[in-house]
Chains A and B, each alone.
Chain A
Amino acid sequence: MSAEHFTETPFGRKKQRTEMIARWFLGGMAAAMVVPLLLIVGYIVVQGAPSLSWEFLTTNPRLGGIRGGIWSALVGTLYIVAISLCVSAPIGVLSAVYLNEYAKDNWFTRIVNLAVVNLAGVPSIVHGLFGLGAFVYAAGMGKSILSASLTLSIMTLPVIIASTKEALSAVPISFREACWNVGATRWQTIRRIVLPNSISGILTGVILQVSRTAGETAPVMLTGVATFKAIESTGLFLYHPIQDQCMALSMHLYYIATQANNAPHSLPFGIATVLLGVVLLVNATAIAVRAYLRSRKKW
């Protein structure tokens, strides 16, 4: 008896039809997210094309930002991302090591986990308020790259903790038990077996955070990123990290799109394209790193 035989009843046919409709409907929903994404990105790139050029990327903005290129904004973004990651990556990784390897199953650990979740849910503008109150004013750092970076590092901390925890718990517990059985201490086990074998997950998490940090505007607009800074010099060393404010791609886009007068039509689209390009590049790197390191899995 073939399968067709079973669907020959009216009820069976209706079931098949419902199945087909459902499949197409749900597929349509998935497509409804993908298609607009592609259209929007395409539109941005096309509209921004007239502004895009090598000079655009490598010269500094002039005239309040509406002429020239975006080099100092790119460099500024680089500064704040790098400094913030230098702070949040070590703290985040060690925090996750504590939670996954040392923490006992008690109320204190539950509170720490709660704090991480809470930290992750704080709105970005509230992080900006915190940075303003804590770093700019209370610590006296003023509006500066340092204030902005530290504000961002607190913001990225919970995600690094979460992804590192996931990477650590992917290492089977049988490895740890084997180490304890031969008299290795907790730290020796972590240093020699657990950390080296979770590095791919940790690295992926950190790289993904780079892309997220590069796009943030609200926390940095209050704490150290200016709408425009006239800078003559070129190269990488444009800013003093502790005293100076800087420009950043995200803020530049916001300013040009909403407040600048007489900016050429393609300018904000060009900035958005570059920002999307940076984000896409970093995410692609993270995915590639993850795939490569996974292929070299040792167990």
Chain B
Amino acid sequence: MFPQPKIEVQDLRLSYGTREVIHGISFDIREHEIFGIIGPAQSGKTSLLRCLNRTIEFTAGATATGSIRVDGQDVRKLKNVYELRRRIGMVAPLPVGLPLSIYDNVAFAPRCAGLSSRSELDGLVEQCLRQAALWDEVKDRVDSLGTKLSGGQQQRLTIARALSHQPEILCLDEFSIAIDPVTTMRIEEVLKELKKTMTILLVTNLTQQARRLADRTMFLWNGEIIELDANEVIFSDRVKDRRTRDYVNGFFG
């Protein structure tokens, strides 16, 4: 008997104006697992993440129905949406360095949440930069501008920012698009460590990445779940849907 899932999605439908992009999907995500989401472009993967942390609300004309429960509570009914967003770390595909120093980039979220003690912030900043595999490269220049870092460094800075508010759930949306393979590998190592303390949603275009990291993977196509199963099934001959096998093997993208 599995304990209560960390995230329960039930019958989620999302429309941008009159165009429906997610057609009533339901699935669970368990605590402390890496949950992979694969699928071609425009399948609703990013929209799904944005529904989770409710940043979808910033898009004019977006309406969602159904429920997303985190620890049993429907997130769409929560009053303090900022609290929710602090429980969820979000890493967007394109690296974004805020026009602040590296230190302030990582200290941004805790400060907004009310943390002001310099010593606590120092400790938190260092920890997050280490977790993002960035500390060694920037420890001598944490006061320099975050926007002047390279693309790969900015992506790790984004990850550090996502970790700075100590989320229970970490969402990564095609995080390796703008970074080199070596850095990607380092971050993948970090993710395997982080799994012990949080639940990770990994949206990725690189099916091999999902294969390496995820415990279970969901194949999302055109807003519908084609298949969801343990990695041993999805990435093997035991895969149930022919479309999943074709996608995993690169016959369409």
Interface code B59-101, partner A: CB below 8 Å = 1, 0 otherwise?
A: 0100000000000000000000011111001101010111110
- Which chain A positions have C-beta within 8 A of B60? 104-105
User: Which of A22-30, A39-47, A171-179, A282-290 forms part of the interface with chain B?
Assistant: A171-179
B251 adjacent to chain A (CB < 8 Å):
no
The answer to whether B99 and A182 have CB atoms under 8 Å apart is no
B156-174 contacts to A, CB under 8 A, are 158, 161-162, 164-165
With contact pairs A197-B99, A298-B145, A299-B147 given, residues A180 and B58 touching in the complex (Cβ less than 8 Å): yes
A261 adjacent to chain B (CB < 8 Å):
no
With contact pairs A104-B60, A105-B60, A192-B108 given, residues A182 and B85 touching in the complex (Cβ less than 8 Å): yes
- Which chain B positions have C-beta within 8 A of A183? 82-86, 109, 112-113, 165
B167 to chain A, nearest CB (A): 9
**A268 and B89 alpha carbons, distance in the complex (Å):** 68
Most buried by B among A174, A181, A197: A181
**A31 and B70 alpha carbons, distance in the complex (Å):** 68
**A28 and B152 alpha carbons, distance in the complex (Å):** 52
A188 adjacent to chain B (CB < 8 Å):
yes
**A174 and B146 alpha carbons, distance in the complex (Å):** 14
Total A-B Cβ pairs within 8 A: 68
- Which chain B positions have C-beta within 8 A of A177? 55, 58, 92, 96
Contact of A181 among B55, B100, B147 (CB under 8 A): B55
B53 adjacent to chain A (CB < 8 Å):
yes
Q: How many residues of B contact A (CB 8 A)?
A: 29
Most buried by B among A178, A182, A184, A188: A182
User: Contact residue range for chain A?
Assistant: 10 to 19
**A298 and B146 alpha carbons, distance in the complex (Å):** 9
A71-107 contacts to B, CB under 8 A, are 104-105
Residue on A nearest B84 in the bound complex, by CB: A183
A11 to chain B, nearest CB (A): 50
**A299 and B165 alpha carbons, distance in the complex (Å):** 25
**A58 and B108 alpha carbons, distance in the complex (Å):** 52
The answer to whether A182 and B58 have CB atoms under 8 Å apart is no
A193 adjacent to chain B (CB < 8 Å):
yes
A283 to chain B, nearest CB (A): 28
- Which chain B positions have C-beta within 8 A of A180? 55, 58, 85
Interface code A180-224, partner B: CB below 8 Å = 1, 0 otherwise?
A: 111111001000110001000000000000000000000000000
- Which chain A positions have C-beta within 8 A of B99? 175, 193, 197, 298-299
The answer to whether A298 and B147 have CB atoms under 8 Å apart is yes
B210-248 contacts to A, CB under 8 A, are none
The answer to whether B108 and A182 have CB atoms under 8 Å apart is yes
- Which chain B positions have C-beta within 8 A of A193? 98-100
With contact pairs A104-B60, A185-B82 given, residues A178 and B98 touching in the complex (Cβ less than 8 Å): yes
- Which chain A positions have C-beta within 8 A of B85? 180-183
**A104 and B161 alpha carbons, distance in the complex (Å):** 28
- Which chain B positions have C-beta within 8 A of A192? 108, 112
A289 to chain B, nearest CB (A): 19
Residue on A nearest B171 in the bound complex, by CB: A181
Residue on A nearest B58 in the bound complex, by CB: A180
The answer to whether B98 and A175 have CB atoms under 8 Å apart is yes
The answer to whether B145 and A185 have CB atoms under 8 Å apart is no
A153-187 contacts to B, CB under 8 A, are 174-175, 177-185
Most buried by A among B84, B89, B108: B108
Residue on B nearest A299 in the bound complex, by CB: B147
- Which chain A positions have C-beta within 8 A of B100? 193
The answer to whether B55 and A182 have CB atoms under 8 Å apart is no
Contact of B162 among A105, A175, A181 (CB under 8 A): A181
With contact pairs A105-B60, A192-B108, A299-B99 given, residues A182 and B94 touching in the complex (Cβ less than 8 Å): no
Contact of B112 among A105, A182, A298 (CB under 8 A): A182
Interface code B94-126, partner A: CB below 8 Å = 1, 0 otherwise?
A: 101111100000001100110000000000000
- Which chain A positions have C-beta within 8 A of B158? 178
Contact of B82 among A178, A184, A298 (CB under 8 A): A184
The answer to whether A184 and B92 have CB atoms under 8 Å apart is no
The answer to whether A181 and B53 have CB atoms under 8 Å apart is yes
B231 to chain A, nearest CB (A): 28
A271 to chain B, nearest CB (A): 46
- Which chain A positions have C-beta within 8 A of B145? 298
**A191 and B161 alpha carbons, distance in the complex (Å):** 18
B114 to chain A, nearest CB (A): 11
The 8 closest A-B pairs by CB, nearest first: A183-B86, A298-B99, A183-B85, A182-B109, A181-B90, A299-B147, A184-B112, A178-B96
User: Can you add 6 more A-B contacts, CB < 8 Å, to A181-B90, A183-B86, A299-B147?
Assistant: A104-B60, A177-B92, A178-B96, A179-B112, A182-B86, A182-B112
Please, could you name 16 A-B residue pairs with CB atoms under 8 Å apart, sorted by A? Answer: A104-B60, A174-B94, A177-B55, A178-B98, A179-B108, A180-B85, A181-B92, A182-B85, A182-B89, A182-B108, A182-B109, A182-B162, A192-B108, A298-B147, A299-B97, A299-B99
